[in-house]
């Protein structure tokens, strides 16, 4: 699938084919845009509402890259005591922060089993869930 790297309005435009044929930079696929490190990238399914204030909602697909350097303030997927969580990393204070004031930060203690699985580099919102995403695997 080719992606058109131009801003598009939500109105109707009958000249889409003409526009698409005039931009040479359309050579990128969705894989190239969302997963430049394909071998080190995985896709997860967001669950819950703790990250809603940064625009990450329940049911969104999240693209997680294991190859990028982890920085303070990144949105990450981590394994905390056997549970996968998606939170903002507060490395300086040793905490995981939700993007909703309804949830308190989680302090990572010495007794916790913690590993960062990767950085969330992007997300995809599904407006119509397909049957394959309703599997018990998610």
CA angle 76, 56, 54 (to 5 degrees): 85
DSSP 8-class letter at 17: H
Tell me how far apart the alpha carbons of residues 89 and 110 are, in angstroms, rounded to a whole number.
16
- Catalytic member of 2, 50, 92, 122: 50
Other CB atoms within a 10 A radius of the CB of residue 2 amount to: 11
Which DSSP string corresponds to 77-97? EEEETTEEEEEEEETTTTEEE
Is there a catalytic annotation at residue 92?
A: no
Is there a catalytic annotation at residue 100?
A: no
- Catalytic member of 7, 52, 87, 109: 87
Q: Which residues are catalytic?
A: 50, 87
């Amino acid at each position: 699938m080719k992606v058109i790297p131009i801003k598009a309005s939500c109105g109707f435009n009958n000249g889409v084919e003409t526009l698409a044929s005039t931009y040479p930079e359309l050579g990128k696929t969705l894989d190239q845009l969302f997963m430049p490190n394909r071998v080190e990238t995985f896709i997860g399914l967001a669950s819950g509402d703790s990250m809603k204030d940064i625009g990450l909602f329940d049911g969104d697909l999240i693209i997680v890259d294991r190859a990028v350097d982890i920085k303070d303030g990144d949105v990450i997927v981590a394994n905390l005591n056997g549970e996968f969580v998606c939170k903002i990393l507060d490395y300086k204070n040793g905490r995981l922060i939700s993007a909703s004031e309804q949830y308190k930060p989680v302090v990572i203690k010495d007794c916790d089993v913690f590993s960062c699985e990767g950085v969330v580099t992007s997300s995809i919102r599904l407006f119509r869930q397909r049957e394959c995403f309703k599997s018990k695997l998610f």
